Each structure stands twice: as C-alpha cells, then as structure tokens.
Amino acid sequence: MSGSRILVVDDEADITELISLYMEREGYLVRATDNGEDAVALAASFRPDLIILDIQLKHMDGFDVCKQVRSVSDVPILFVSCKNDDTDIIHGLTVGGDDYMTKPFSPSQLVARVKAHLRRQTVNDRRRAADEVLRFDRLVIDLPGRTVHVGGKEVFLSTKEFELLVRLAKSPNRAFALDDLYTIVWGHDSMGDTRTLMVHVSNLRKKIEPDPANPTYIVTVRGVGYKFSIKEGSPHV
C-alpha cells in the first residue's frame, strides 16, 4: 500500500504538518489543504485513496465536504475532530464517513487506522474487479466492456442477448422459469411473450455453444425453463 495517495484536510497547521509527516514516513503521497472548497477540488484532481477530514473548516465544513465527495466516490473517509459528542460522530458516519477519531489522538493509532482502511479497500477493489469478469472455461464475459469471448475469439451479442447471458451466468446452475427470466431481462412493462426469450436463447446458443443442438452452457430444464450449467469444480469467477 506504499505509494497510496492521502488527502489531509484540517485547518490547524500543526496537526496537518504532523499527520502529513507520519503519512509520508509510511511511503504515502500526501496532499493537504485547510479549507473545504479546495478539499472537494483535490478529491477530484488528486484522486486520493483515502481522505483524513476535519469537521471545522473554512468555507465548507467537513460534513458538507464528505457529502460532496461521497456523491461521486467511495474513497474511505476518516473524520478527525475535537468534537467527541455522539451526535457529531453519528452524523459524520451517516453522511458517508467510514471512521471517526477524536483529537487529541496518537499519530501511530491514526497510521494503524489508515492502513486498515487501505487494506480493506484493496480487498474490496479486488473483489469488484473479479466480479466484473465472469470466466467459464472457454467462455469469458467482460461486464464493463460488455464483450464476450469464446475460445479466445470475440463474439458479438445484441443488448438483450448480453443481458440474458449475464443474468444466467451470474447464477450458475440455478433454474429460471421462462416467465421469471423474461420479466428480469425485459421488464414488467415490456410487451411480448416467452417466445421472444426462446428466440434469444436459440441465438445465444448458436454464438457461444460448441454444438448448439446439444448445449452445455444454456441448458433446458424440463417443465421449468433454462439454467446456465457448469460442472462442479469448473473454473469461474
């Protein structure tokens, strides 16, 4: 986590200098400001991995800074304040803060808190990254890129074909009733019937199955509908 970017926001110069010193000793890249407006701007331009945020600031208090940052980012926000009233602590966490420390505090304890939040954020980022790509043997589904590869070659799906495949692949081996699957992908207000769904399944099989007549991924569940089938132990993320 060395090299992580830390934004320190505090209107007390001595505290800002102390926090920055300890963060830099850990190998973090630090930017600091003493007012709320600059804090919001730096959150966007500096793109910190964690924000250490005081409540009492110039131009805009820490609560408002937190709300503005949280509207566009899930970066960990650690409040530090001389206010130790439960109301302030609860409010800080309610508007989007991840943690709260009251002044005076031990710099080493602050470092430990920062490390814990960065470690947790790293784990969460890895989980999100894993969730964005679904892998099933020869079949790879890239969710943010909205691409599908079979045997290393990209296949082109329509919007509904892609949504249908993702819905099935995210719940492997779960049987979906025709009506339920149609409603999930097309919505309650869509006009049509399950024949539309069956046509899309047929098209999908032609594009992703080695043998569309004998599908191994999208299989029919008699009397129910369809499921995305994977064998136990098959590689998938």
* Angle, alpha carbons 104-26-8 (nearest 5°): 50
DSSP string computed for 144-167: TTTEEEETTEEE---HHHHHHHHH
Distance of CA 196 to the CA centre of its chain: 33
Per the CB < 8 A criterion, the answer to whether 208 and 202 are in contact is no
Of 136, 185, 132, 135, residue with least CA distance to 158: 185
* Angle, alpha carbons 222-211-185 (nearest 5°): 55
* Entry field: residues in the chain: 237
**Domains of the chain with bracketed CATH:** 5-130 (3.40.50.2300), 137-228 (1.10.10.10)
Contacts of 221 (CB under 8 A, 6+ apart): 175, 227
- Report DSSP state, residue 167: H
Per the CB < 8 A criterion, the answer to whether 184 and 167 are in contact is yes
CA–CA distance, 170 with 167 (Å, rounded to integer): 6
CA–CA distance, 178 with 226 (Å, rounded to integer): 7
* pLDDT value at residue 152: 92
- To the nearest 10 degrees (0 to 180), the angle between helices 62-70 and 86-94 is 20
* pLDDT value at residue 235: 47
Q: What parts of the chain have a pLDDT lower than 70?
A: 1-2, 124-131, 187-193, 232-237
* pLDDT value at residue 141: 94
pLDDT in tens, 179-221: 888 888 876 544 556 777 888 899 899 999 999 999 999 999 9
* pLDDT value at residue 5: 95
